[in-house]
Structure 1
Amino acid sequence: MSLIKDIGFQFTTLFLCVVFFISTCCTSCSDSPGVASTGIQQVGIDAVYQRYLEFPQPSGMQTVRLNPPVLRWPVEKGRQITYEVRLSKDKGFSDTTDVIGVVDTPWAMFNPHMKLDLGNWYWQYRKSGGNWSDLQGFVVDDSAYPMVSPSSFQFLKSVPLSKPRVLTTERDRLALKILEKDNDIKAIIEEANEMLHLPIPRENEGISLQKGEDAEQERKFRQDASHRLGSSAYKVVLSMAQAFLLTDDEVYANKGMKVALEVATWNPNGVSGISDFGHARCMVAMAIAYDTFHKFLSELQRKVLVDAVSARASYFYLEWANNIEARLLSGHVWQHILHYFFQTATALYGDVDEASDWLSYAYELFLARAPVLGGMDGGWIEGASYFRMNMETMVDIPLYIKKFSGFDFFKAHPWYHRQVKWMIYHVPPGSAPDGFGDNVEEMDTPGAEYAAFAIEIAKLLNDENAAWYAWQCAKYENIDLSKKDVLRWIRATKTSDIPIPDVPEEIDLPMGYTFQDVGLAAMHTRPGVQQDDLMIAMRSSPFGSYGHMLSDQNVFNILYRGKKLFYRTGYKVTMKDPHRTGWYQHTRSQNGILVDGEGQPYSTEAFGWIARFIQGGGLAYTKGDASNAYKSKETGENYGVSKNHRHIVLLKPDVIVIYDELESNKDVEWSWLIHSLENMTLDKENDVFSVSLDDADGIGRLWGSRPVNLHLADTFDVPAVNWRKSRDQHGKLKTYDDDQWHFKATAREKTTQMRFLVVIRVTPHGMTNNWLEKKAENGLVDMQIGDWRIAANMDVSMSPGLIIMNKQEQVAFSSHGHPLEFQGKTYNGNYKHASKLVFVENGVTNFSEVEDQLPYDLRNSIQYYRNNGY
């Protein structure tokens, strides 16, 4: 009998039969949802991404995604270390004419800079004069993206020797004259005129006058003062240089030179070097002045600037070389400092011998690692707020490379082509962002920065989706791009002649999109239509927790009409502030799971991954696996978790289903958390929580496989105090006194297994909620919400299962592999435990299924460890 035709008793009966059937089957089949986690543990993988590279890449005969791949290996610490590399299709490297390699390279990376033939490749590395490493291997097939860049030698040869060449070239200055009426140009000159009247910054201004309550606060105050000092000098010099290049007015040159020459007198080991941002901005300010005002400087002044710039650039190079290329992330390097270093090396190239090494390293490092937090599929794992700090680096360095050498990294790298999808789904126009990463609590919309970035993507890739995104942002916000300096100089002087593609009235957007490389998934009922959209986003990342990432594997955030409905809580304050470490970065601030009151370690070893995604017929589903997220050798934590599988289903137009499977190797106390920035109320009798926005109610009902205690609070475990006196983007002193609400459901007894089911409905005020009265019977939750029928197995003695059907829309879904009876036909699929979906669209019946899919780097880590006998 068709389940769609008879969705009552037949539905429940079939579900129970299926559950009993699954429970009697072997759960260790190759496509079982639990196999991936077990397999990871069996081969001893502590982390997908260690803080420093621990084994060579690519290796394990993995199929590479770029041709050629960049070879990298664990560094051997030391300032004078050099390496040798050899690469060939011959395992024995016997034919020296076919061996590609390098000798005496000071960096733990090697780019062949040539397209490799298809097939198997083998390589080795060694410390110069030492023994060769074990043989490494990889496979090149025709799926690899071509990434044939010029060698660093060829790139350096392409750099013009005439000045200026950093902010623009002399030849391109002629084109700037026709832009004088452009709003960006007007804004640049107006700001420069204001800065003409600012006093010359002095070194003693970098001495902090604030007193902290402990050593950490004192350190942060010193760092902040240093940061402000370097930034003030940089802003003035950059503004003067840009205005001079646009006008030829020497008044700007005179002011810029005065500031740069003043900075040259500062001790790089003094207060101006305490903050790496301030240190780098002092460096690049002087380099820009040297390059832009070169013809006005005397020989002595040039030498003064060159010596001062070189001292700071040498510091960064010696700190980075044989280090950063093997390090998972050095956030400040990639946010701004690599960009400044690239500009500095470009300015001094040809005048300072060491600048060849600086520029070569910056060039090779960018090609080897960018986008360091983005993978291949367009995501960005450090979050919407901090992505803004990476925009200049990700746009301008490729433009330098293309300008000088002709190689278009933008068009060659797949990340740029897919990046707009991340913006659309995780930082939607007119909406707050997904809620992951530091400082997103301060964002209510994408803002001018995202519109500006999307415009550059649109122009450089002729991407109409990016143009649409920028247009949508402008529709919801009163955006004047000229008032923000992010990408303004690039837009006005480097890409002004590239047309923006026509903006389509609408674009085809499915309900959901995943970014498995970085571990993000987002689902929307009306993607791109803020006023009608219900959004849920989940993070479960192979990167774990590090930098500006938080301890938030398998956590979610829910937004309605662009507003934060159920959203993680707290404030960053500073990276080491007690509120950040004890609440904000901790899992207890997230919509996640606690174990014995503890969350996930703050470590790359505490990782997760997006295991499944499927959509169609008004339903979108994703599964996250955070089974490895509750332990870390690095931090010494292990809470015994062996399974944390979270299943999330979004059902149009207004229902969200969250189904958690939890297991441990000992009896533990399981807690389910959800938070809101709005006033939350609790009905303990019915296990119901709710939040009201101006125009809607979000109501959730929770079921547990064991009885639970419910708790609601409006205070943080660790208070937030703005002792740093930080200000928001409008210059207003930040306050941390607004109410935030925290709901926790905790199992009354400790157990090795627990399941939670939560159903949330977001509707206009006053809609009936009779579905809340449904109770679990015989371990089965069965309810009807609108046209959707939902059933879930909560009995831990039987295999898990979630079945959802919609008679009206003709949709049927199962999470754990049981066959679907649909319109008189049985859909078994090819994979026993795969999630299955069947739906009718335009009169056509569609069937699809998905089993667990390991992310690329996790899959290759497993392969490497297995090949090496772990």
Structure 2
Amino acid sequence: MENASKQAEAASEMRQPGGLNETAPAWPAELMANANLPFRPADALVTTQNPPDFDWPFVPGADRYRLELARNAAMDGGAIEAAEPAINFYNFAQALDEGIWFWRVRFHTPEAGWSAWSEVRRFRIAEGSVAFPVPPIDELLARMETGHPRVWTNPRELEAFRERRLHGVAKTVFENVRESVLARLGDPLPPDPTFPYMDRSISSVSPEWVKALQDLRKYADTALDHLLQAAFVYLITGDREIGEHAKAHLLNFASWDPEAATRFDINDQVHRAVAYRSTIAYDWLYDLLSPEERQAVQDMVRTRIAVLIEHYLDRQPIYQYPFDSHGWTIAGYIGLMGTIMLHDIPEAEAWVRRAVPAFINLLPPWGGEDGSWSQGTGYWQWSSGSNKELMDVLLSAGAIDAYAKAFSRHEGLYPIYMFPHGSPTGVFGNDSHYLPDWPSISLLNRLAQVYGDPRMQWAAEAIGERTVSGLQDYFYGDEGIAPRPPADLPKAKWFPTTGLVAMHSDLADPERISLYFKSSPYGSYSHSQADQNGFIIHAFGETLALKSGYYDYYNSVHHRGYTKRTYSANAITFDGRQGQPIDDFDAKGRMLGFATHPAFDAATGDAVAAYRGGELARALRHIVYIKPSVFVVIDDLAASDPDGVSFEWNLHADERLTLESDGGGATIEKDKVGLQVRLHGADSLGGKASIEKRFLDPDGNEATPVAWAAGKSQVHATFAMPKKDAAVLVASLAPYRLDGGAPEAIASTERDGYLRLSFAGGAVLFVRTAAEGPVDTGADGYRFDGAALAACGASLLLVHGTRVERDGDVVFESDVPATAAWGEGRLSASVSGDAALSLAVPGEAILRDGSTGREVPADGDPAARLGSQGVHWTAASGRLSLRLEQGQHAFRLDDAPLPGPIAPVTLPTEIDGASGETALEAWRDVDGDRLAWGRLVLEAGDYEVLEAPAGFAFARHGRIRSGSLGSREPVLLRGEPGLLKLRRIDATHSSP
């Protein structure tokens, strides 16, 4: 809370009771766009972090800002929290009361005085929030360790840290590292490397330059890896011979010329690695270094870090332009080096003051409190790992526990939904060709350890064996946590911060059916691509509808000319592959709605702002998942020009893609899996379908991938519609196994103003094709106002609409557009603003939180209920009336049991003729079905599966006929147990 003198100063600068005088400068419009730091917390955020992080655009010339928080939107009366930081972000040092808050900010310049206030934004601190007060930097500095080591351990905890080497995974890691170091004790010191193009005689995006950089990085990383391994072994053992060996390597790095091949403008990654990894080795070898040797390392770090500070704290400060992938990582390394060198180098305190508060506040710029990552799964792996380097050092140095941030606490949900075990590729963004592997295992183990979360433990084990090659693996993970599949989580999720949606048939089964959908506020900037409203489909362990193109290297001819482009995605283009601009932060999408239910999921993305040329007036994409196996994609499109455009529906496959003879669809095949794509309705048919097997740039020139992707190919289909000013394009996409029969049959009928699609399981989907107004489905008995309505038994789904009638009775109504699914005792709804919602319910109405099962109190004061829980409800005469805050909500409308443990299951086995049993734990999952899991104990080796229950799968391999199994192989079982029969495959007997 500010003091009285500050309050008086603020009041004296107010010319009118309502605020500033009319000459107060406004917030510059250019700061509200592009890659500037945005206002956060975003309006209507519900936060579990108390208090949240506060950010706003950096204003050049401003010498201070004034931040105010209040309990009412008028920002007057009651308790007001305020601060006047000199920089454009702030973290409060004390927790706030839970409930609704409002905030605003203004800036001050010496020339013009105080600006106008920003828009007032609202946030709610949820009940049960986790405290994350951030002390002032002086207090953080005072907390920090003064001795060495400080990296991963400290003088008080060092002996316990060393003891880890005697047991479990840590023992394996340590022994592997020590063996590697001993094998290289006689190797000569690596000389200062050279680079063949110091004169920049060739382009820095040419294949030759990139190859030379890759060679340089490999050389430096190999040498630095050895340095850290040797220093680590010394830290753990105190072995003098190994310590002297490590010291020699450290001093050798200190002698490398910072203006030669490892200089910043040749490759910033090599430059920073020499600096920060040498600093870590300095910490571990500190007691072995003489004052002169310490000085040599300190001088090298001082020289190299000065360049990093100039670029990312002076010239383009990370708190002004946080969306710089390398800059964000480097800012963290500046903080890391400052923390390690604190009290050793006078300048180190300034490094900490400038980098650490920004890191704590901004962590991470590429995501938010929901734990998601806007740049895709590939860069989540690398960036999340680098984030934790400073997080772990701040923790061991005693400064702060950044794992308490909401992002960190929810981060594990991102790989569980967007990058789950069994994924044939990653999704969205550069480097998405990587599969879940050792980086995911290591990160999930760390998250499981920090939060004691058995779901993270299971997710890591389902990918593969624990990694034992990285130094962090020595202390990442807790072998005492019993793994458990995420049976309590819904099978679909919307990440609002990054505009990502994942829809799965199953979270545990590696052969699940999955659709990933993106409409992101982060645009096509940095490692993101111009693929707003794009989708990807995986099924049965294969990629079917894929995001095409390769990340051979950044800004290669192929990457820039093809991979980044909208036409490389399963997305909409027009008039000859025109789409969204690349490298544009403001080429944004936004997710308008989402609902998940046992019968169906739905999401709506709006990408009109991403088509920056203004040619499109509407670009809505609705995706409906009719469970268990059909996705329906609905594109509601309009051109700005009344003469119209030719809308193009793009589809991409890895290998085999064939068009239907009538141009009304396509079939994709990959290995033993297929995807049947069918277009429905007059707007979708009658166009020109074509296939292209080349990668073409915007000018029609071939943009062939190089480097690791050289020689790779994919298949691309385009359905170009006749020129129209508006269209509703409807496509069904049904994954199926080629050896398991035909895909699900879908019947479609076009009627006045809508399409009717019916599915094998009895579900029906009505899609509005009329420009506006309600849809009357006639004999089906429904009348609705929305983009689509699905019905399956007693369950209904309204997509981006406001009203549903059934047989003349109003069964759903909302005063703002909503996407909602209800029935079977569930209600899942997202609303585009604060909403009044009414729902017909059978019997006596109750309302429970969808995840915890806790009863939501009825009646009471509406403002108080909304302020504490985000919902107020009443019930009368078979109708549930709710007031909901903006965002997504999930409720249970009955007293059915929640996910939780149930009686264990026994799986009978016969392994190489020997009968046995395996005990499986079991849970009731989120849909009320039984999921059992455990570990199959057997001799590691190659096996043939002779017999298995219908619902059995290996967590890592799926439903294999043969494969390599570990000694404690994780297994899954849905449905009833039956005999699992395996036969060992040896050199004299192989499976047919």
**What TM-score do the two structures reach when normalised by structure 2?**
0.71
**Partner secondary structure for residue 34 of structure 2:** coil
Whether 1:705 and 2:683 are equivalent positions in the alignment is: yes
Q: Aligned AA for 1:299?
A: P
Shift of 1:117: 6.5
Shift of 1:397: 2.6
| In 1, Cα distance between equivalents of 2:362 and 2:827 | 39
* Kept in 2: contact 1:93–1:99 (CA 8 A): no
**1:52-451 counterparts in 2 under 5 A?**
52-53=36-37, 67-75=50-58, 83-87=63-67, 101=83, 105=86, 107-115=87-95, 123-127=105-109, 131-136=113-118, 142-143=125-126, 146-181=131-166, 182-207=171-196, 214=203, 216-217=205-206, 219-221=209-211, 223-273=213-263, 274-321=266-313, 323-335=317-329, 337-405=330-398, 407-411=400-404, 413-433=405-425, 435-441=427-433, 443-444=434-435, 446-451=436-441
2:589 to 603, 608, 611: 608
Shift of 1:423: 1.4
**1:705-724 counterparts in 2 under 5 A?**
705=683, 707-718=686-697, 719=702, 721=704, 723=706
Q: Deviations over 1:570-627 (max 9, x none)?
A: 1112221121111101111100000222111121111011111112242111111111
| In 2, Cα distance between equivalents of 1:689 and 1:599 | 22
Shift of 1:658: 0.5
**Partner secondary structure for residue 831 of structure 1:** strand
Q: Deviations over 1:298-336 (max 9, x none)?
A: 33222221111101112222322251012131212334x
**Partner secondary structure for residue 437 of structure 1:** coil
Match of 1:763 in 2: 736
2:655 to 678, 692, 695: 678
Q: Aligned AA for 2:631?
A: I
Label 1:848 to 1:395 Cα distance change in 2 as closer, same or farther (>3 A). Answer: closer
Label 1:625 to 1:45 Cα distance change in 2 as closer, same or farther (>3 A). Answer: farther
Label 1:153 to 1:773 Cα distance change in 2 as closer, same or farther (>3 A). Answer: closer
Shift of 1:186: 1.6
Shift of 1:644: 0.7
Q: Deviations over 1:529-548 (max 9, x none)?
A: 123x2110101001111111
* Kept in 2: contact 1:804–1:813 (CA 8 A): yes
**Partner secondary structure for residue 507 of structure 1:** coil
**1:548-563 counterparts in 2 under 5 A?**
548-563=527-542
Shift of 1:388: 1.2
**1:544-623 counterparts in 2 under 5 A?**
544-596=523-575, 597-602=577-582, 603-623=584-604
**Partner secondary structure for residue 667 of structure 2:** strand
| In 1, Cα distance between equivalents of 2:758 and 2:74 | 66
**Partner secondary structure for residue 743 of structure 1:** strand
* Kept in 1: contact 2:544–2:674 (CA 8 A): no
Match of 1:522 in 2: 502
How many residue pairs end up in the alignment?
Answer: 769
Bigger mean CA offset, 279-288 vs 817-826: 817-826
**Partner secondary structure for residue 344 of structure 1:** helix
**Partner secondary structure for residue 304 of structure 2:** helix
Q: Deviations over 1:699-721 (max 9, x none)?
A: 11113516311011222114455
Label 1:836 to 1:242 Cα distance change in 2 as closer, same or farther (>3 A). Answer: closer
| In 2, Cα distance between equivalents of 1:167 and 1:456 | 13
Shift of 1:225: 4.8
Q: Deviations over 1:362-381 (max 9, x none)?
A: 21011110022121111111
Label 1:246 to 1:150 Cα distance change in 2 as closer, same or farther (>3 A). Answer: same
Shift of 1:523: 0.5
Q: Aligned AA for 1:705?
A: D
Shift of 1:426: 0.8
Label 1:803 to 1:539 Cα distance change in 2 as closer, same or farther (>3 A). Answer: closer
Q: Deviations over 1:843-863 (max 9, x none)?
A: x5x555544369xxxxxxxxx
Shift of 1:773: 7.3
Match of 1:23 in 2: none
Match of 2:447 in 1: 457
Q: Aligned AA for 1:232?
A: T
Label 1:168 to 1:206 Cα distance change in 2 as closer, same or farther (>3 A). Answer: farther
**Partner secondary structure for residue 203 of structure 1:** coil
Label 1:198 to 1:74 Cα distance change in 2 as closer, same or farther (>3 A). Answer: farther
Q: Deviations over 1:189-214 (max 9, x none)?
A: 22323443443222243445999974
| In 2, Cα distance between equivalents of 1:310 and 1:700 | 59
| In 2, Cα distance between equivalents of 1:134 and 1:62 | 23
Label 1:82 to 1:188 Cα distance change in 2 as closer, same or farther (>3 A). Answer: farther
Match of 2:905 in 1: none
Bigger mean CA offset, 323-332 vs 57-66: 57-66
Q: Aligned AA for 1:578?
A: V
Label 1:180 to 1:773 Cα distance change in 2 as closer, same or farther (>3 A). Answer: closer
Match of 1:862 in 2: none
Shift of 1:76: 5.6
1:468 to 437, 448, 458: 458
Q: Aligned AA for 1:132?
A: W
Label 1:472 to 1:58 Cα distance change in 2 as closer, same or farther (>3 A). Answer: closer
1:815 to 799, 809, 813: 799
Q: Which runs of no fewer than 5 residues in structure 2 stay unpaired? A: 1-26, 776-785, 835-992
* Kept in 2: contact 1:233–1:260 (CA 8 A): no
* Kept in 2: contact 1:233–1:285 (CA 8 A): no
| In 2, Cα distance between equivalents of 1:647 and 1:617 | 18
* Kept in 1: contact 2:552–2:709 (CA 8 A): no
* Kept in 2: contact 1:450–1:470 (CA 8 A): yes
Bigger mean CA offset, 292-301 vs 280-289: 292-301
Shift of 1:564: 0.4
Whether 1:687 and 2:664 are equivalent positions in the alignment is: yes
How large is the RMSD of aligned CA atoms in angstroms? 3.6
Q: Aligned AA for 1:51?
A: A
* Kept in 1: contact 2:333–2:390 (CA 8 A): no
Which protein is richer in strand relative to its size? 2
Shift of 1:680: 0.7
| In 1, Cα distance between equivalents of 2:525 and 2:504 | 28
Label 1:120 to 1:655 Cα distance change in 2 as closer, same or farther (>3 A). Answer: closer
Q: Which runs of no fewer than 5 residues in structure 1 stay unpaired? A: 1-42, 632-637, 726-733, 855-870
Q: Deviations over 1:150-206 (max 9, x none)?
A: 222112112222222235323333124423341121222223234434432222434
Shift of 1:287: 1.7
2:467 to 459, 472, 481: 481
| In 1, Cα distance between equivalents of 2:607 and 2:236 | 53
**1:645-656 counterparts in 2 under 5 A?**
645-656=620-631
* Kept in 2: contact 1:373–1:381 (CA 8 A): yes
Q: Aligned AA for 1:672?
A: W
Shift of 1:460: 0.6
**What TM-score do the two structures reach when normalised by structure 1?**
0.80
Label 1:76 to 1:270 Cα distance change in 2 as closer, same or farther (>3 A). Answer: farther
| In 1, Cα distance between equivalents of 2:431 and 2:199 | 24
| In 1, Cα distance between equivalents of 2:270 and 2:388 | 22
* Kept in 2: contact 1:386–1:438 (CA 8 A): yes
Label 1:324 to 1:686 Cα distance change in 2 as closer, same or farther (>3 A). Answer: closer
Label 1:93 to 1:777 Cα distance change in 2 as closer, same or farther (>3 A). Answer: closer
Q: Aligned AA for 1:738?
A: K
Q: Deviations over 1:68-125 (max 9, x none)?
A: 4555454466xxx883344567999999x9996567x5x5434342345786666544
Label 1:253 to 1:647 Cα distance change in 2 as closer, same or farther (>3 A). Answer: same
